[in-house]
Amino acid sequence: MTLSATDVHKTYRRGREQVHALRGVTLEVQRGEVVALLGRSGSGKTTLLNCLLGWETPDSGSVRVSGAADPGRAPWATVAVVPQRFGLLDELSLADNVALPARLAATADPRGAALRTLETLRLGPLAGRMPDEVSLGEQQRTALARALVVRPDFLVADEPTGRLDEELSTHVLTTLREVYAAEGTGVLIASHDPVVVAAADRVVRLSDGRVVDG
């Protein structure tokens, strides 16, 4: 099973100015591999992730998941996401935030699955708290738990360790490694974090909207 972008172009218009965020990007992530997406701020990483998630429509080129074992799976269980801004619902506890995608995917015992996933990410004691009652690093790990709770085929994460110290980054990466070793999840992580780069099987570098080093 493969998550791929083929010759993707994306241009934003800001008034009269055109920003060529992606200029023909081709990238493949297989199940069972961790790919780190590197590049300076503004190089197009988030735009590429958004295209892979279907949150942005490429101007040309294509994005697809091929070889799905179960094409009927919920989209957020096929390609789950940890967004740069987390996107937690303020009015739900951490446990309810994490349980939500499992509930929507009609997973058996969504709350139990949420609590187990929070536990894995060392957030068990905070399960009953609201997002504004925990640190940004804890919110970030909650967003990761919410992505993982449905055991996705692929995980796309935008700077998922950006708010974590080295010890926690290492822990999160170890957890991800365990998850993909057990489940075969394919992982694509946009990051500047050396811990992520060290844990990746492969590094893809973007510069000015192009892949410069695959």
Ligand X SMILES: Nc1ncnc2c1ncn2[C@@H]1O[C@H](COP(=O)(O)OP(=O)(O)OP(=O)(O)O)[C@@H](O)[C@H]1O
Residues that bind ligand X in the complex, under the rule CB under 6 A: 12, 14, 19, 21, 39, 41-47
Distance of closest approach, residue 116 Cβ to ligand X, in angstroms = 31
Nearer Cβ to ligand X (14/71): 14
Round to whole Å and give the CA distance between 176 and 130.
24
Sign of CA dihedral 119, 120, 121, 122: positive
Distance of closest approach, residue 28 Cβ to ligand X, in angstroms = 19
Distance of closest approach, residue 170 Cβ to ligand X, in angstroms = 22
Distance of closest approach, residue 70 Cβ to ligand X, in angstroms = 31
CB–CB of 90/166 below 8 Å? no
Q: How far is CA 168 from CA 86, 196, 207, in A?
A: 17, 12, 28
Nearer Cβ to ligand X (26/111): 26
DSSP-assigned letters across all residues of 113-174? HHHHHHHHTT-GGGTTS-GGGS-HHHHHHHHHHHHHTT--SEEEEESTTTTS-HHHHHHHHH
Nearer Cβ to ligand X (46/120): 46
Nearer Cβ to ligand X (126/190): 190
